[in-house]
Structure 1
Amino acid sequence: MNKIKKYILALDQGTTSSRSALFDHEVNLLSLAKRSLSQICPEKGWVENDPEEIWSTQYETILEVIRDVQIQFDQIVGIGISNQRETTIVWDKKTGKPIYNAISWSCRRTEEFCKQLKEEEKELTIYIRNNTGLKVNPYFSGTKLRWILDNVEKARERAEIGELLFGTVDSWLIWRMTNGALHVTDYTNASRTMLFNIRRLSWDQRIINVLKIPKIILPRVCSSSKIFAKVIFSNLQRTKIPISSVMGDQQSSLYGQLCFSFGETKSTYGTGCFSLMNIEKRFLISKNELLTTISCGPKGESQYALEGPIPFGGASIQWLKDQIKIIHSLDDQSIWSNMVDSSEGVYFIPDSSFDFDSEGWNPFLKGAIIGITRDSNRFHIIRAILESITFQNMDILECMKKDIGRNDVYRELKVDGNASCNDIMMQFQSNILGIPVKRPAVKERSILGTALLAGITVGFWKDVQEVQCKINEHKIFFPEMTSKEGYMKYLGWKRIYSILSNLRKSVPKVEN
């Protein structure tokens, strides 16, 4: 009699899409389904998603991978969840209906509130930095939640009497999968709210009080590795499937890259680009504007990581397609950037309105393309934008070196995400860093990370050592120039960036 095969189902709910994947015991990616997610922009700088669309697209992808592999739900032994972080959802506890759209991590609507908080609550600002690892910024969930409570009719009154619930996307998905039976999150997602004390691993009462957040609406916080709940997707299902892993997408990617030792570093090139360095149990507050966040060890135990974001990394390439229209598809950037050997002195300086060290947003001056001559063409601009992403990432990695106090803290960079498929960009990244860049054969590391932890939690795999040899296939990009040559290219971009940043600060702010 043939033994019935078992599988791990992994969900990856992202900024622009919802995806599901099935993995077998050999860690083969058997099926990957994807649905696009609408972006709602009601005002300049505001970004929202429909929470119901988040759930419906995710559910559709679950059904699709099951159909594609032609298995039964009973063959799934564990579910892992990876999700876009910081995005904020508030819903009715009784009906499960959202009271407002999900406010995206990239939404800037609370910028003025954050500025006011930093000016009036200087001690709190320092306290937040030292206890959450974050900086007061619209990026994080705390001020988004405050905005909903202050601006949606009767939201605050209802929240205070326990009629509403708050959650990041993981909480929302679990709530829907359990039909409202469970209101939880994990440490990695909680650590991105600006409300969670990552030293004590608990909601911080002082911050909650100042932001006027009723504690009753916050989810229970758990380890990333546990049986959160057991769920049913089909009436034909005989056994419930355990949700056995939950991680924020960037921490899941760090796990999927098997970065478990101190100093191991990964960069994910997606809509935003994010670099994380494992610092194990060492709690460290960056002196170079990086963030400190919770990550996961091999068994799902809480550790710390340094993080540097490039919020509009891969989105710069999307901008070329949707706004400037000098490429027709995202595949074009790989082909056309190869049409020239370099950017020929053209530099792309990104929108700096998202800087964590910025004292305020000046809409008069944002990004810039510098160095254009009559000989410059679209290929040089495409190349300059790709190089800019690598320069920004190097900026982050240099800050990590300074915080750790060692130039050799990492000897290679592990990369993933859609934009990492561009060989030219990955080669240039290796050139300017002066170290090997390793790209896995399966670039879906965020969805793989939560799948691995889900499987280890339920005993599908014994430990990470069992799976390590099965996912160790990489393409390695070695430096093709001297470290000095690469570093000089970075310094050229850095010099122009600094000049424009200083100019930005000197230009009077234009009031809308």
Structure 2
Amino acid sequence: MSKRYILAIDQGGSGSRAVVYDEEGRVRGYGYRAVGRICPQPGWVEQHPRAIARSVAEAIEEALTRAGVHGSEVIACGITSQRDTVFAWHARTGRPIGHAITWQDLRTAPLVAALDETPLGPLRRERLGQFPGAYAGAMHMAWRMRHDAAFRRAAEQGVLRVSLAAGWIVQALGRPSEHALDHSLLQAMTVYDPRRRALWEEWIEALSIPRAALPVARPTIHHFGELYIDGAEVPVLAMITDQQAALFGYDCRAIGQAVATHGTASFVNVVAGPVAPPQGICKTYLAWEIDGIATYALEADMTTTGAAATWLRDLGLVRRVTDLDRYAARVNHSGGVVFVPAMNGLGVPSEDRSARGAIFGLTLGVELSHLARAFYESIGFQLIDILATMKAEAGLDVQELRVGGGLATSDLACQIQADISGVTLIRARDTETTARGVALLAGIGAGIWSLGTMPVLVDETARRFVPQLWASERAARYAQWQMAVERVKGWARPINTPTAEQSSDEEWLLKHSTASIIEGQAR
């Protein structure tokens, strides 16, 4: 019998990956293409839809070439993608409408603040499973309805279609079976209620987002359409958000099992089980639905990790991001330096997007080695905050943390995180767990595996990093971290009067959201 292969596509904010897996779950080919960002003005970050599609196509070609596999041998594809970055296109022509506003964009901050004064303001976190900040796809769509003439015109004509990168990839490189996303991706557009498993209609109306433009929700394993590869039509049998794919791909199924994924930002996800926990500061995601059974997960973020390492490189302090290891290894402490990498604000538990990054404790004796080590320690400190919040809010007590992503490839970074957080870290041989997760799901859809027969990732070959720091030393360093965090909070909070554009945005949202809510209540 001829070999059968699974293709996984992982489209992220920094690049697009394609990975070919065989029936044993082994990687046979890998392709990657970096993707650029467009910054029309400070605080604005966009991406070109066609460039994203092209990067995916090139990554697929590279992965298949390295695997020695033809498109006709690929029996299923799974797609996972970045969240909140919403792509728009014309329903009849398929042509993209403008650039996609990315999750790193801050232009919608005035709209977010304006919604605080509306009746829906206090309900947002509970209904959406998260607070829709300036990063959120719903806010981007509301902004475009206000300021993007082409976007608004397509909506008025009934030909607007919007989706995340996963949906756009099928549209641009294949044929969708319908305009759909899985539950997790639709929730990542911040228009979907994960507890009720339905769009939040009042919210959509309040933001003037056309409902007809939005995808419908489908299970994680579903026939979403086909991709055209080497003249073959490859069925897309799974979709899921990137962080939840990493959770699934790291063999996390039981309540309390957790993974930290380090990329441009870092995310901690913990399996919460078939019932959504009470809503707190942490995000509540409908992570996946298989055979009609939902699995929820708690998620918390560190806003800037890999991006901070890149920033250090761009400043010329190191030639390569990997050089941080070499410098951090020269010292066994940070020399009293505390690095708070809050360039995009603070995540859980502070949830302060007006915070900004800072470095404390500088003296003439501080060297680059101390700064590099302080950066690694900052990730461990944030793990303390996140895991304590999850335990307090949902009773989830994480004893071991599985790690993946770029920074997880460093032994030193993993050991420092374990020392500072007091939690054992586990790193498997294959750290591309995001692609692996969606490949496993697509393989289930194709009948290659079942939930009980999937290949296992965490085995005796996995590396364990056990905490070695005394508890008293950990507590002392954490106290310094807390002092530093308090000093960066609110740094970018506006102190001047709003601009004319900001004022008009606020007035527009207040008027439209209040009117929609009143109409909804009347019905």
TM-score, length-normalised on structure 1? Answer: 0.92
- Cα deviation for residue 155 of structure 1 reads 2.6
Does 2:345 correspond to 1:354?
A: yes
Does 2:296 correspond to 1:328?
A: no
Does 2:476 correspond to 1:488?
A: yes
Report if the CA contact (8 A) 2:45-2:104 is conserved.
yes
- Cα deviation for residue 360 of structure 1 reads 7.5
Work out the CA distance in 1 between the residues paired with 2:142 and 2:457: 46
- Cα deviation for residue 359 of structure 1 reads 8.9
Work out the CA distance in 2 between the residues paired with 1:108 and 1:94: 31
- Cα deviation for residue 88 of structure 1 reads 0.9
What is the aligned partner in structure 2 of residue 381 from structure 1?
371
What is the aligned partner in structure 2 of residue 56 from structure 1?
54
1:90-101 to structure 2, matched below 5 A, reads 90-101=88-99
Rate the CA distance shift 1:359–1:10 in 2: closer, same or farther, 3 A. Answer: closer
Does 2:277 correspond to 1:293?
A: no
Rate the CA distance shift 1:271–1:35 in 2: closer, same or farther, 3 A. Answer: same
Report if the CA contact (8 A) 1:292-1:305 is conserved.
yes
What is the aligned partner in structure 1 of residue 151 from structure 2?
155
1:46-445 to structure 2, matched below 5 A, reads 46-118=44-116, 120-121=117-118, 123-179=119-175, 182-235=178-231, 237=232, 240-287=233-280, 289-296=281-288, 301-322=293-314, 324-351=315-342, 353-355=344-346, 366-405=356-395, 409-445=397-433
Q: What letter corresponds to residue 206 of structure 2 in structure 1?
A: V
Which of 22, 25, 29 does residue 24 from structure 1 map onto? 22
Work out the CA distance in 1 between the residues paired with 2:127 and 2:340: 33
Q: What letter corresponds to residue 314 of structure 1 in structure 2?
A: G
Report if the CA contact (8 A) 1:106-1:311 is conserved.
no
Judge which range, 351-360 or 66-75, deviates more. 351-360
Rate the CA distance shift 1:297–1:165 in 2: closer, same or farther, 3 A. Answer: closer
Work out the CA distance in 2 between the residues paired with 1:81 and 1:360: 31
Work out the CA distance in 1 between the residues paired with 2:294 and 2:170: 21
What is the aligned partner in structure 2 of residue 11 from structure 1?
9
Q: What letter corresponds to residue 33 of structure 2 in structure 1?
A: R
What are the Cα deviations for residues 142-173 of structure 1, in whole angstroms up to 9, with x where unaligned? 01011122212243242133111011111101
Rate the CA distance shift 1:473–1:228 in 2: closer, same or farther, 3 A. Answer: farther
Work out the CA distance in 2 between the residues paired with 1:181 and 1:412: 40
Rate the CA distance shift 1:360–1:477 in 2: closer, same or farther, 3 A. Answer: closer
Report if the CA contact (8 A) 2:339-2:374 is conserved.
yes
Does 2:442 correspond to 1:454?
A: yes
- Cα deviation for residue 353 of structure 1 reads 5.0
- Cα deviation for residue 352 of structure 1 reads 6.2
- SS for the counterpart of 1:232 is strand
Work out the CA distance in 2 between the residues paired with 1:36 and 1:280: 35
Work out the CA distance in 1 between the residues paired with 2:56 and 2:144: 24
Percent identity over the alignment is: 28
Report if the CA contact (8 A) 2:338-2:361 is conserved.
yes
What are the Cα deviations for residues 359-397 of structure 1, in whole angstroms up to 9, with x where unaligned? 9865xx722111011110111111111211221232111
What are the Cα deviations for residues 158-196 of structure 1, in whole angstroms up to 9, with x where unaligned? 213311101111110121233465321111111112211
Q: What letter corresponds to residue 307 of structure 1 in structure 2?
A: E
What are the Cα deviations for residues 45-67 of structure 1, in whole angstroms up to 9, with x where unaligned? 11111110100010111111112
CA RMSD of aligned residues (A): 2.3
Report if the CA contact (8 A) 2:127-2:193 is conserved.
yes
Report if the CA contact (8 A) 1:298-1:463 is conserved.
no
Aligned residues: 498
What are the Cα deviations for residues 64-86 of structure 1, in whole angstroms up to 9, with x where unaligned? 11122222212111101111111
- Cα deviation for residue 424 of structure 1 reads 1.5
Work out the CA distance in 2 between the residues paired with 1:405 and 1:500: 29
- SS for the counterpart of 1:226 is strand
What is the aligned partner in structure 1 of residue 519 from structure 2?
none
Work out the CA distance in 2 between the residues paired with 1:292 and 1:155: 30
- Cα deviation for residue 202 of structure 1 reads 1.5
Work out the CA distance in 2 between the residues paired with 1:510 and 1:430: 45
Runs of 5+ consecutive residues of structure 1 not aligned to the other structure: none
- SS for the counterpart of 2:221 is coil
- SS for the counterpart of 2:32 is strand
What are the Cα deviations for residues 90-118 of structure 1, in whole angstroms up to 9, with x where unaligned? 11112211111111111111011111111
- Cα deviation for residue 264 of structure 1 reads 1.1
Report if the CA contact (8 A) 1:6-1:75 is conserved.
yes
Q: What letter corresponds to residue 484 of structure 2 in structure 1?
A: I
Rate the CA distance shift 1:152–1:511 in 2: closer, same or farther, 3 A. Answer: closer
Q: What letter corresponds to residue 271 of structure 2 in structure 1?
A: N
Report if the CA contact (8 A) 1:285-1:291 is conserved.
no
Rate the CA distance shift 1:320–1:509 in 2: closer, same or farther, 3 A. Answer: farther
Rate the CA distance shift 1:294–1:181 in 2: closer, same or farther, 3 A. Answer: closer
Runs of 5+ consecutive residues of structure 2 not aligned to the other structure: 500-523
Rate the CA distance shift 1:71–1:155 in 2: closer, same or farther, 3 A. Answer: closer
Report if the CA contact (8 A) 1:432-1:483 is conserved.
no
- SS for the counterpart of 2:370 is helix
Work out the CA distance in 2 between the residues paired with 1:110 and 1:358: 20
Rate the CA distance shift 1:151–1:461 in 2: closer, same or farther, 3 A. Answer: same
Judge which range, 85-94 or 294-303, deviates more. 294-303
Report if the CA contact (8 A) 2:78-2:439 is conserved.
yes
Work out the CA distance in 2 between the residues paired with 1:267 and 1:360: 21
TM-score, length-normalised on structure 2? Answer: 0.90
Work out the CA distance in 2 between the residues paired with 1:59 and 1:82: 15
